[in-house]
Amino acid sequence: MPPRVPCYCHATDRQAHMRGWQTADIMELAGHTVLITGGGSGIGRALSGRFAEAGSSVVVCGRRESKLREIETALPGVRTRACDLSTAAARVELVEWVIREFPQLDVLVNNAGVQRRIDLTAPESWEHTHEEIAINFEAQVHLCSLLIPYLRTQQHPAIVNVTSGLAFVPLAAVPVYCATKAAFHSFTLSLRRQLAATPIAVVEVAPPALNTDLGGPGTHTQFMALDEFIEAAMAQLEAGSEEITYGFSEQAAAASGKERAQIFERMNASR
């Protein structure tokens, strides 16, 4: 599928598109210093490889040290750091460390996320629910807040927020995940508008369901191959799109309210 040409309906959108990281700079993925959260597997792991192969310096953080060691072996030169983004203290420590060790940092990729199936009619531990909210939404907002002052000092900075097609139409079996992604999508729109007068580009990546370990190994094997989505996403990124969608997420993002209600019924009819 060819890259989707973005439509800039407002003057501020056109101005944002013409800033630093977009246009010519966004087509050249080399020369950046990129922090990718949740980079141990799935989309984060794939993006780490693409940026590193293009010639950017890549720093990956994740909770599983075994996965981080695998990345260091597979992608020599990529730096990693174990970090639990569910806590504010860990996020502050991560930012202090990455700025100290990588002063050229100019791209933040907010990718970390967890997905849990929840029966809302049955009581469950609030700690688990809060952890999902903290990792999927609270951490991203906090990292943006911590890093925006620093990113503004860089020449071609960007924030890349990984949301989901489920931000537009939820899957009822994973209600907290869908709600956090909807909130993150909304936050990203506001963030882009508020940063329009700064050099920081804001890009949203909204994947469809993919064959990754999100939600647990083996739970998504029937969905789209990760490589197919990454190919399409990188093509759109290099073309300068600020909202990257593909497959289901492209359909859901473009759907009317009535169409989204119909999609919701089809998605959840047998669940």
Active site residue 246: no
**Dihedral sign (CA 68, 244, 50, 1):** positive
Assess contact for 181 and 167: CB atoms under 8 A: yes
Provide the 3-class DSSP secondary structure of residue 108.
strand
Burial 62-75 (b: 16+ CB within 10 A, else e): bbeeebbeebeeeb
Q: Which residue has the tokens 């970390």?
A: 112
Which CA distances in Å does 110 have to 7, 20, 144, 234, 257?
24, 20, 9, 16, 28
Distance between alpha carbon 183 and the CA centroid of its chain, in Å?
A: 13
Q: Which residue has the tokens 């995940």?
A: 177
Q: Which residue has the tokens 């804001």?
A: 202
* Residues tagged active-site: 177
